[in-house]
């Protein structure tokens, strides 16, 4: 699938106006080999604990995008090189994290797309706290399971349904 977020915004002004298409704030850094990626969202809400991130990425991705509400924490990483490799092996299109990543050079070697707020060398806790398949808020934008996520060099979009 070839798309440009700018073109999607131009072609879907009505959806932007009614809120069924949202542009996430430009706060994300790009990681991974895929500059552009899209797919239906699998949502996850965690805080400074990446146990459920691993659990989700161990499942077949089938071209989906894992959207992680990490509460915007800048105190530890929720995704590292090993989990990025796991995401690639299991067919995830990408990962969008309202939080940090680590092992950025390893992530950049993976054939997936990743967006995150920053890098942080500290690993997260491993207590298994969080919720999968729930409404999340990513940089102030609500995302429901199954929303379509689009990311490219110009931004990140969340759409209630797939855009053509």
Full set of structural domains in the chain with CATH: 5-159 (3.50.30.40)
Give the CA distances from residue 120 to residues 40, 65, 124, 164, in Å, rounded to whole numbers and listed in that order. Answer: 27, 22, 10, 36
Residue 104: predicted pLDDT? 98
Residue 1: predicted pLDDT? 62
Buried b (16+ CB within 10 A) or exposed e, 96-133: bbbbbbbbbebbeebebbbbbbebbeeebeeeeebebe
Provide block-wise average pLDDT over 10 residues at a time, the chain (164 residues). Answer: 92 97 98 98 98 98 98 98 98 98 98 98 95 96 98 98 89
Residue 164: predicted pLDDT? 76
Report whether 58 contacts 147 (CB < 8 A).
no
Cα–Cα distance measured from residue 55 to residue 83, given in angstroms and rounded to the nearest whole number: 10
Radius of gyration of the chain (CA): 14
Query: What stretches of 12-162 show up as alpha helix (H) in DSSP?
Result: 13-18, 51-57, 81-89, 104-108
């Amino acid at each position: 699938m070839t798309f440009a977020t700018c073109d999607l915004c131009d072609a879907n002004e009505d959806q932007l106006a009614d809120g069924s298409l949202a542009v996430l704030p430009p706060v994300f850094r790009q990681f991974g080999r895929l500059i552009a990626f899209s797919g239906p969202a699998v949502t996850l809400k965690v805080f400074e604990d990446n146990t459920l991130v691993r659990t989700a990425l161990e499942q077949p991705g089938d071209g989906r995008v894992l959207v992680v509400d990490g509460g915007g924490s800048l105190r530890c990483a929720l995704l590292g090189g090993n989990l990025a490799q796991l995401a690639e092996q299991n067919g995830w299109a990408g990962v969008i994290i309202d939080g940090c990543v680590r092992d950025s050079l390893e992530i950049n070697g993976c054939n997936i797309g990743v967006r995150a707020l920053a890098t942080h060398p500290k690993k997260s806790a491993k207590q298994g706290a969080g919720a999968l398949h729930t409404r999340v808020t990513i940089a102030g934008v609500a995302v429901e399971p199954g929303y379509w996520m689009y990311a490219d060099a110009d931004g990140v979009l969340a759409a209630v349904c797939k855009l053509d």
